[in-house]
Amino acid sequence: MQQTVLRASSGAVSGRPTAVPVATRASQRGRVALRPVAAAILNKPDSDEGLTYKKAGVDIDAGDELVDRIKKMNPKANIGGFGGLVPFGDSYLVAGTDGVGTKLKLAFDLNKHDTVGIDLVAMSVNDIITLGAKPLFFLDYYATGHLDVDTAEKVIKGIVDGCNDSDCILLGGETAEMPGFYQKGEYDLAGFAVGAVKKDRVIDGKTIKAGDVVLGLASSGVHSNGFSLVRKVLEVSNTSLHAPCPWDSGKSMGEALITPTVIYVRKVLELHEKVGLKGVVHITGGGMPENIPRVIPKGLGVNVKDGSWEVPELFKWVQATGKVPIDDMRRTFNMGVGLIMVVDPSKVADIQKIAPDAFLLGEVVPGNGVKYV
Protein backbone atom coordinates (compact mmCIF):
# COMPACT_ATOMS: atom_id res chain seq x y z
CA MET A 1 0.00 0.00 0.00
CA GLN A 2 1.31 3.43 -0.87
CA GLN A 3 2.01 5.49 2.22
CA THR A 4 1.44 9.23 2.53
CA VAL A 5 3.48 10.45 5.48
CA LEU A 6 3.37 14.02 6.75
CA ARG A 7 5.72 14.90 9.61
CA ALA A 8 6.35 18.08 11.51
CA SER A 9 9.88 19.43 11.58
CA SER A 10 12.08 18.89 14.64
CA GLY A 11 11.60 21.35 17.45
CA ALA A 12 9.39 21.95 20.45
CA VAL A 13 6.06 20.23 20.49
CA SER A 14 3.80 22.13 18.13
CA GLY A 15 0.17 22.96 18.76
CA ARG A 16 -2.42 20.88 16.96
CA PRO A 17 -6.17 21.08 16.40
CA THR A 18 -8.07 19.48 19.25
CA ALA A 19 -10.18 16.48 18.29
CA VAL A 20 -13.37 15.27 19.92
CA PRO A 21 -12.37 13.69 23.28
CA VAL A 22 -12.09 9.94 23.23
CA ALA A 23 -12.15 7.40 26.01
CA THR A 24 -9.17 7.31 28.33
CA ARG A 25 -7.92 4.35 30.29
CA ALA A 26 -5.16 3.52 32.69
CA SER A 27 -2.28 1.51 31.33
CA GLN A 28 1.01 0.41 32.86
CA ARG A 29 3.95 -0.58 30.81
CA GLY A 30 4.98 -4.77 32.18
CA ARG A 31 8.55 -22.42 23.69
CA VAL A 32 10.97 -24.66 24.21
CA ALA A 33 10.23 -26.46 27.44
CA LEU A 34 12.24 -25.23 30.40
CA ARG A 35 12.17 -28.27 32.63
CA PRO A 36 13.84 -26.82 35.76
CA VAL A 37 10.84 -24.52 36.18
CA ALA A 38 7.92 -26.67 37.23
CA ALA A 39 4.42 -25.80 36.12
CA ALA A 40 3.41 -25.96 39.77
CA ILE A 41 5.21 -22.65 40.32
CA LEU A 42 2.33 -20.89 38.58
CA ASN A 43 -0.02 -21.94 41.36
CA LYS A 44 2.07 -21.42 44.46
CA PRO A 45 0.74 -19.07 47.16
CA ASP A 46 1.65 -15.39 47.24
CA SER A 47 4.81 -14.48 49.10
CA ASP A 48 5.92 -11.20 50.66
CA GLU A 49 9.51 -12.04 49.74
CA GLY A 50 8.99 -11.96 45.98
CA LEU A 51 8.97 -9.13 43.49
CA THR A 52 5.73 -7.48 42.46
CA TYR A 53 4.79 -4.91 39.83
CA LYS A 54 4.36 -2.31 42.58
CA LYS A 55 7.81 -3.08 43.99
CA ALA A 56 9.15 -2.63 40.44
CA GLY A 57 7.71 0.90 40.46
CA VAL A 58 4.30 0.53 38.80
CA ASP A 59 1.10 0.96 40.82
CA ILE A 60 -1.94 -0.34 38.89
CA ASP A 61 -4.25 0.78 41.70
CA ALA A 62 -3.03 4.36 41.31
CA GLY A 63 -3.78 4.16 37.60
CA ASP A 64 -7.30 2.91 38.34
CA GLU A 65 -7.81 5.77 40.79
CA LEU A 66 -6.80 8.28 38.10
CA VAL A 67 -9.35 6.78 35.69
CA ASP A 68 -12.05 7.18 38.35
CA ARG A 69 -11.11 10.83 38.81
CA ILE A 70 -11.17 11.44 35.04
CA LYS A 71 -14.66 9.91 34.88
CA LYS A 72 -15.85 12.56 37.35
CA MET A 73 -14.23 15.37 35.34
CA ASN A 74 -15.58 14.13 32.01
CA PRO A 75 -18.92 12.37 32.69
CA LYS A 76 -20.06 12.52 29.04
CA ALA A 77 -17.26 10.26 27.85
CA ASN A 78 -17.30 6.47 28.09
CA ILE A 79 -14.16 6.35 30.19
CA GLY A 80 -12.66 2.91 30.75
CA GLY A 81 -13.26 1.24 27.41
CA PHE A 82 -10.60 0.20 24.95
CA GLY A 83 -11.41 3.08 22.60
CA GLY A 84 -13.57 6.16 22.20
CA LEU A 85 -16.51 6.31 19.75
CA VAL A 86 -17.66 9.42 17.88
CA PRO A 87 -20.81 9.28 15.68
CA PHE A 88 -20.05 9.86 12.00
CA GLY A 89 -23.03 9.28 9.71
CA ASP A 90 -24.03 5.61 9.79
CA SER A 91 -20.72 4.74 11.46
CA TYR A 92 -18.62 5.49 14.47
CA LEU A 93 -15.09 6.79 14.34
CA VAL A 94 -13.11 4.87 16.95
CA ALA A 95 -9.87 6.20 18.43
CA GLY A 96 -7.26 4.85 20.78
CA THR A 97 -3.87 5.90 22.06
CA ASP A 98 -1.00 4.13 23.78
CA GLY A 99 2.76 3.84 24.07
CA VAL A 100 5.44 1.17 24.36
CA GLY A 101 6.48 1.82 27.95
CA THR A 102 9.77 0.64 29.39
CA LYS A 103 10.20 -1.90 26.62
CA LEU A 104 12.00 1.04 25.05
CA LYS A 105 14.78 0.52 27.62
CA LEU A 106 15.51 -2.82 25.96
CA ALA A 107 15.73 -1.10 22.59
CA PHE A 108 18.24 1.38 24.02
CA ASP A 109 20.34 -1.27 25.74
CA LEU A 110 20.34 -3.58 22.70
CA ASN A 111 20.66 -0.74 20.18
CA LYS A 112 17.76 -2.35 18.33
CA HIS A 113 15.13 0.10 17.18
CA ASP A 114 13.39 -1.54 14.23
CA THR A 115 10.61 -3.36 16.10
CA VAL A 116 9.36 -0.98 18.83
CA GLY A 117 7.42 0.87 16.15
CA ILE A 118 5.47 -2.33 15.51
CA ASP A 119 4.71 -2.48 19.24
CA LEU A 120 3.50 1.11 19.14
CA VAL A 121 1.01 0.45 16.36
CA ALA A 122 -0.09 -2.86 17.84
CA MET A 123 -1.00 -1.41 21.22
CA SER A 124 -3.46 1.07 19.70
CA VAL A 125 -4.93 -0.90 16.80
CA ASN A 126 -5.45 -3.97 18.99
CA ASP A 127 -7.49 -1.72 21.27
CA ILE A 128 -9.81 -0.28 18.64
CA ILE A 129 -10.53 -3.64 16.99
CA THR A 130 -12.12 -4.74 20.26
CA LEU A 131 -15.03 -2.55 19.13
CA GLY A 132 -15.04 -4.02 15.62
CA ALA A 133 -13.37 -0.98 14.07
CA LYS A 134 -11.14 -1.24 11.01
CA PRO A 135 -8.06 0.95 11.52
CA LEU A 136 -7.93 3.78 8.96
CA PHE A 137 -4.89 5.81 9.92
CA PHE A 138 -2.22 6.18 12.58
CA LEU A 139 -0.31 9.15 14.01
CA ASP A 140 2.90 8.98 16.03
CA TYR A 141 4.76 11.21 18.46
CA TYR A 142 8.54 10.76 18.66
CA ALA A 143 10.34 12.79 21.32
CA THR A 144 14.07 12.88 22.06
CA GLY A 145 16.75 15.09 23.55
CA HIS A 146 18.86 15.10 20.40
CA LEU A 147 17.55 13.82 17.08
CA ASP A 148 19.55 10.88 15.72
CA VAL A 149 18.14 10.61 12.21
CA ASP A 150 19.34 7.02 11.68
CA THR A 151 17.70 5.81 14.91
CA ALA A 152 14.49 7.71 14.23
CA GLU A 153 14.32 6.26 10.73
CA LYS A 154 14.51 2.71 12.13
CA VAL A 155 11.76 3.44 14.64
CA ILE A 156 9.48 4.96 12.03
CA LYS A 157 10.17 2.09 9.62
CA GLY A 158 8.76 -0.20 12.34
CA ILE A 159 5.70 2.04 12.61
CA VAL A 160 5.17 1.81 8.84
CA ASP A 161 5.54 -1.99 9.04
CA GLY A 162 2.94 -2.09 11.81
CA CYS A 163 0.56 0.07 9.79
CA ASN A 164 0.97 -2.18 6.76
CA ASP A 165 0.18 -5.22 8.91
CA SER A 166 -2.91 -3.38 10.18
CA ASP A 167 -4.04 -2.32 6.70
CA CYS A 168 -3.95 1.37 7.59
CA ILE A 169 -1.67 4.29 6.75
CA LEU A 170 0.79 6.34 8.76
CA LEU A 171 -0.93 9.66 8.12
CA GLY A 172 1.38 11.94 10.05
CA GLY A 173 3.27 12.57 13.25
CA GLU A 174 5.32 14.89 15.39
CA THR A 175 9.08 14.81 15.94
CA ALA A 176 10.00 16.75 19.07
CA GLU A 177 13.65 17.52 19.87
CA MET A 178 13.93 18.67 23.48
CA PRO A 179 17.54 19.14 24.68
CA GLY A 180 18.09 18.29 28.33
CA PHE A 181 14.78 16.49 28.71
CA TYR A 182 15.86 12.95 27.79
CA GLN A 183 19.09 11.11 28.47
CA LYS A 184 21.52 10.75 25.59
CA GLY A 185 20.44 8.05 23.15
CA GLU A 186 16.91 7.80 24.55
CA TYR A 187 13.52 8.72 23.15
CA ASP A 188 9.84 8.21 23.91
CA LEU A 189 6.95 7.17 21.69
CA ALA A 190 3.20 7.61 21.65
CA GLY A 191 0.74 6.47 19.04
CA PHE A 192 -2.82 7.29 18.04
CA ALA A 193 -5.04 5.06 15.90
CA VAL A 194 -8.35 6.02 14.30
CA GLY A 195 -10.72 3.52 12.74
CA ALA A 196 -14.36 3.16 11.76
CA VAL A 197 -17.18 0.68 12.27
CA LYS A 198 -20.80 0.66 11.11
CA LYS A 199 -23.15 1.40 13.97
CA ASP A 200 -24.88 -1.95 13.58
CA ARG A 201 -21.56 -3.83 13.66
CA VAL A 202 -20.11 -2.44 16.88
CA ILE A 203 -18.80 -5.11 19.27
CA ASP A 204 -20.07 -3.80 22.59
CA GLY A 205 -20.52 -6.93 24.72
CA LYS A 206 -24.19 -6.18 25.39
CA THR A 207 -25.40 -9.54 24.06
CA ILE A 208 -22.96 -11.60 26.14
CA LYS A 209 -24.77 -14.06 28.38
CA ALA A 210 -23.98 -16.92 30.74
CA GLY A 211 -22.91 -19.99 28.82
CA ASP A 212 -21.06 -18.08 26.11
CA VAL A 213 -17.61 -19.42 25.26
CA VAL A 214 -14.35 -17.55 25.76
CA LEU A 215 -11.64 -18.19 23.16
CA GLY A 216 -8.02 -17.09 23.32
CA LEU A 217 -5.36 -16.13 20.80
CA ALA A 218 -1.74 -16.57 21.82
CA SER A 219 0.62 -13.69 22.49
CA SER A 220 4.19 -13.54 21.23
CA GLY A 221 5.50 -13.00 24.74
CA VAL A 222 5.34 -10.03 27.09
CA HIS A 223 4.03 -7.75 24.31
CA SER A 224 4.32 -4.19 25.70
CA ASN A 225 3.04 -4.48 29.27
CA GLY A 226 4.97 -5.51 32.36
CA PHE A 227 8.52 -4.67 31.31
CA SER A 228 9.21 -2.70 34.47
CA LEU A 229 8.81 -5.94 36.38
CA VAL A 230 10.74 -7.96 33.79
CA ARG A 231 13.62 -5.50 33.97
CA LYS A 232 13.57 -5.65 37.77
CA VAL A 233 13.80 -9.45 37.65
CA LEU A 234 16.76 -9.16 35.26
CA GLU A 235 18.39 -6.69 37.63
CA VAL A 236 18.01 -8.65 40.87
CA SER A 237 19.08 -11.90 39.20
CA ASN A 238 22.04 -10.19 37.53
CA THR A 239 20.92 -11.57 34.15
CA SER A 240 22.40 -9.86 31.10
CA LEU A 241 20.32 -9.14 28.02
CA HIS A 242 23.18 -10.71 26.07
CA ALA A 243 23.08 -13.97 28.03
CA PRO A 244 21.71 -17.07 26.29
CA CYS A 245 17.95 -17.35 26.61
CA PRO A 246 17.07 -20.30 28.92
CA TRP A 247 13.90 -21.17 26.97
CA ASP A 248 15.22 -20.52 23.43
CA SER A 249 18.81 -21.55 22.84
CA GLY A 250 18.87 -19.78 19.49
CA LYS A 251 18.40 -16.33 21.02
CA SER A 252 19.83 -14.05 23.67
CA MET A 253 17.63 -12.87 26.54
CA GLY A 254 17.28 -9.48 24.89
CA GLU A 255 16.32 -10.90 21.51
CA ALA A 256 13.64 -13.07 23.09
CA LEU A 257 12.19 -10.29 25.24
CA ILE A 258 12.05 -7.62 22.54
CA THR A 259 9.87 -9.77 20.26
CA PRO A 260 7.19 -7.38 18.94
CA THR A 261 3.54 -7.42 19.97
CA VAL A 262 1.20 -9.45 17.78
CA ILE A 263 -1.17 -7.38 15.62
CA TYR A 264 -4.56 -9.14 15.59
CA VAL A 265 -6.37 -6.75 13.23
CA ARG A 266 -6.89 -8.85 10.11
CA LYS A 267 -7.85 -12.01 12.01
CA VAL A 268 -10.35 -10.36 14.35
CA LEU A 269 -12.04 -8.33 11.63
CA GLU A 270 -12.37 -11.40 9.40
CA LEU A 271 -13.87 -13.43 12.25
CA HIS A 272 -16.33 -10.68 13.10
CA GLU A 273 -17.38 -10.25 9.47
CA LYS A 274 -17.81 -13.94 8.70
CA VAL A 275 -18.95 -15.37 12.03
CA GLY A 276 -19.74 -12.58 14.48
CA LEU A 277 -18.12 -11.80 17.81
CA LYS A 278 -19.95 -10.76 20.97
CA GLY A 279 -16.96 -9.40 22.81
CA VAL A 280 -13.24 -8.85 22.25
CA VAL A 281 -10.66 -8.15 24.93
CA HIS A 282 -7.10 -6.94 24.36
CA ILE A 283 -5.01 -8.30 27.24
CA THR A 284 -2.81 -5.37 28.18
CA GLY A 285 -1.78 -3.84 31.51
CA GLY A 286 -3.81 -5.52 34.25
CA GLY A 287 -3.87 -8.90 32.52
CA MET A 288 -7.06 -10.93 32.31
CA PRO A 289 -8.39 -9.95 35.77
CA GLU A 290 -8.43 -6.22 34.92
CA ASN A 291 -9.29 -6.31 31.21
CA ILE A 292 -12.00 -8.95 30.85
CA PRO A 293 -14.47 -7.09 33.16
CA ARG A 294 -14.20 -4.05 30.85
CA VAL A 295 -16.22 -5.99 28.25
CA ILE A 296 -18.39 -8.42 30.26
CA PRO A 297 -21.80 -7.00 31.36
CA LYS A 298 -22.53 -6.48 35.05
CA GLY A 299 -23.75 -9.56 36.82
CA LEU A 300 -21.53 -11.83 34.75
CA GLY A 301 -18.01 -13.14 35.22
CA VAL A 302 -15.62 -15.45 33.43
CA ASN A 303 -14.23 -18.76 34.59
CA VAL A 304 -10.80 -19.26 33.03
CA LYS A 305 -9.79 -22.91 32.96
CA ASP A 306 -6.25 -23.40 34.23
CA GLY A 307 -4.28 -25.59 31.87
CA SER A 308 -6.40 -24.75 28.82
CA TRP A 309 -3.34 -23.16 27.24
CA GLU A 310 0.39 -23.59 27.58
CA VAL A 311 1.86 -20.73 29.60
CA PRO A 312 5.10 -19.79 27.78
CA GLU A 313 8.33 -20.61 29.56
CA LEU A 314 9.22 -16.91 29.56
CA PHE A 315 6.57 -16.22 32.21
CA LYS A 316 7.57 -19.26 34.24
CA TRP A 317 11.15 -17.96 34.23
CA VAL A 318 10.06 -14.49 35.37
CA GLN A 319 7.95 -15.91 38.17
CA ALA A 320 10.52 -18.42 39.39
CA THR A 321 13.49 -16.05 39.13
CA GLY A 322 11.72 -13.09 40.72
CA LYS A 323 9.60 -15.14 43.15
CA VAL A 324 6.63 -13.22 41.83
CA PRO A 325 3.26 -14.15 43.41
CA ILE A 326 0.83 -15.76 40.98
CA ASP A 327 -1.80 -13.07 41.51
CA ASP A 328 0.73 -10.40 40.56
CA MET A 329 1.81 -12.39 37.51
CA ARG A 330 -1.78 -12.62 36.31
CA ARG A 331 -2.45 -8.93 36.97
CA THR A 332 0.76 -7.79 35.28
CA PHE A 333 1.22 -10.03 32.23
CA ASN A 334 -0.88 -11.55 29.46
CA MET A 335 0.53 -14.96 30.49
CA GLY A 336 0.59 -16.07 26.86
CA VAL A 337 -2.93 -14.93 25.91
CA GLY A 338 -2.83 -11.72 23.89
CA LEU A 339 -6.46 -11.40 22.89
CA ILE A 340 -9.78 -12.94 23.99
CA MET A 341 -13.02 -13.37 22.05
CA VAL A 342 -16.46 -14.12 23.48
CA VAL A 343 -18.80 -16.05 21.18
CA ASP A 344 -21.98 -18.09 21.20
CA PRO A 345 -21.12 -21.79 21.73
CA SER A 346 -22.64 -22.60 18.32
CA LYS A 347 -20.02 -20.40 16.63
CA VAL A 348 -16.91 -22.09 18.03
CA ALA A 349 -16.44 -24.55 15.16
CA ASP A 350 -16.83 -21.78 12.58
CA ILE A 351 -14.33 -19.61 14.43
CA GLN A 352 -11.75 -22.39 14.55
CA LYS A 353 -12.14 -23.13 10.84
CA ILE A 354 -10.96 -19.60 10.10
CA ALA A 355 -8.59 -19.34 13.07
CA PRO A 356 -7.43 -22.85 14.01
CA ASP A 357 -5.05 -21.32 16.54
CA ALA A 358 -7.99 -20.02 18.63
CA PHE A 359 -8.27 -22.14 21.76
CA LEU A 360 -10.97 -22.70 24.38
CA LEU A 361 -10.10 -20.61 27.40
CA GLY A 362 -13.21 -20.59 29.54
CA GLU A 363 -16.85 -19.58 29.76
CA VAL A 364 -19.11 -16.78 30.89
CA VAL A 365 -20.90 -17.48 34.17
CA PRO A 366 -23.21 -15.63 36.58
CA GLY A 367 -21.19 -13.57 39.03
CA ASN A 368 -18.42 -11.05 38.53
CA GLY A 369 -14.73 -10.81 37.83
CA VAL A 370 -12.35 -13.49 36.62
CA LYS A 371 -11.85 -16.80 38.38
CA TYR A 372 -9.26 -19.45 37.55
CA VAL A 373 -10.76 -22.92 37.91
Helix, strand, or coil (residue 294): helix
Closest among 257, 326, 350, 246 to 47, alpha carbons compared: 326
Which of 149, 178, 202 delimits the end of a domain?
Answer: 202
**pLDDT tens-digit profile of 200-211?**
999 999 999 999
CB 364 within 8 A of CB 209: yes
Residue that wins the pLDDT comparison between 49 and 339: 339
Lowest mean pLDDT among 45-49, 133-137, 283-287, 348-352: 45-49
Considering the domain boundaries, does residue 275 fall inside one? Answer: yes
Q: Supply the mean pLDDT for the chain.
A: 86
Residue 34: inside a domain? no
Tally of CB atoms within 10 A around 210: 12
- Considering the domain architecture, whether residues 250 and 104 belong to the same structural domain is answered as no
Same domain, 155 and 95: yes
| 166 and 294 part of one domain | no
- State the pLDDT at residue 76: 59
Which stretches of the chain are DSSP H helices? 60-73, 103-110, 116-128, 149-165, 227-236, 253-257, 265-274, 287-291, 313-322, 326-332, 348-354
| Residue 150: strand, helix, or coil | helix
Helix (H, G, I), strand (E, B) or coil at 205: coil
* Domain C-terminal end among 202, 230, 264: 202
pLDDT for res 21? 34
Alpha carbon distance 342, 132 (integer Å): 13
Q: Is residue 136 part of a domain?
A: yes
CA distances from residue 340 to 65, 126, 214, 283, 343 in whole angstroms, order as listed:
25, 11, 7, 7, 10
Q: How many CA atoms lie within 13 A of 240 on its CB side?
A: 4
Q: State how far the Cα of 283 lies from the Cα of 272, in Å rounded to an integer.
A: 18
Q: Which pLDDT does position 54 carry in this prediction?
A: 73
Count the Cβ atoms, other than its own, within 10 Å of residue 155: 23
Per-residue pLDDT at 278 exceeds 70:
yes
* 29: in domain: no
Question: Residue 233, CB half-sphere, CA atoms under 13 Å: how many?
Answer: 25
Looking at the structure, do residues 207 and 58 belong to the same domain, yes or no?
A: yes
pLDDT tens sequence across 156-210 = 999 999 999 999 999 999 999 999 999 999 999 999 999 999 999 999 999 999 9
Question: Using an 8 Å Cβ cutoff, are 224 and 283 in contact?
Answer: no
Strands 6-7 and 300-304: unpaired
> What is the per-residue pLDDT for 197?
97
| 323 and 348 inside one domain | yes
> Using CA atoms, how far apart are residues 203 and 269, in angstroms rounded to an integer?
11
CATH code, domain carrying 137: 3.30.1330.10
Q: Are 172 and 6 in contact (CB under 8 A)?
A: yes
Give the 3-state secondary structure of residue 57: coil
Asked whether residue 147 is domain-assigned, the answer is yes
The verdict on 62 and 93 lying in the same domain is no
Using the predicted structure, report yes or no on whether residue 44 has a pLDDT greater than 60.
no
Query: Cα angle vertex 161, ends 135, 164, to 5°?
Result: 40
pLDDT for residue 212: 98
Domain identity same for 255 and 108? no
Residue-wise pLDDT tens digits, 19-37? 333 333 333 333 222 323 3
Confidence of residue 40 (pLDDT cuts 50, 70, 90): very low
Over residues 62-108, the pLDDT tens digits come to 766 776 786 677 665 555 578 999 999 999 999 999 999 999 999 99
Domain boundary among 158, 178, 202: 202
Kindly state whether residues 189 and 248 are assigned to the same domain. Answer: no
Assign 3-class secondary structure to 29-51.
Answer: CCCCCCCCCCHHHHHCCCCCCCC
10 and 89, same domain (yes or no): yes
Counting the structural domains of the chain, the total is 2
Q: pTM score > 0.85 for this model?
A: no
In a domain, 36, yes or no: no
Q: Which domain holds residue 55?
A: 41-70+203-373
Q: Quick check: is 76 in a domain? A: no
188/263 same-domain check: no
Task: Provide the CATH number for the domain around residue 373.
Answer: 3.90.650.10
Residue-level length of the chain:
373
| CA–CA gap between residue 322 and residue 31 (Å, rounded) | 20
- Please check whether residue 12 lies inside any domain of the structure: yes
Say how far apart CA 13 and CA 34 lie, in whole Å.
47
> 7 falls in which pLDDT band (50, 70, 90)?
very low
Mean per-residue pLDDT, 296-310: 96
Say whether both 113 and 256 belong to one domain.
Answer: no
Task: Render pLDDT for 221-246 as a digit per residue (tens, 0 to 9).
Answer: 999 999 999 999 999 999 999 999 99
Distance CA 259, CA 118 (A): 10
Give me the pLDDT at residue 71, please: 67
SS3 letters for 338-371? Answer: EEEEEECHHHHHHHHHHCCCCEEEEEEEECCEEE
- How far is 171 from 138, CA to CA, in rounded Å? 6
| Same domain membership, residue 228 and residue 123 | no
Q: Can you tell me the distance from the alpha carbon of 332 to that of 285, in angstroms, rounded to the nearest whole number? A: 6
Separation CA 95–CA 344 (nearest Å): 27
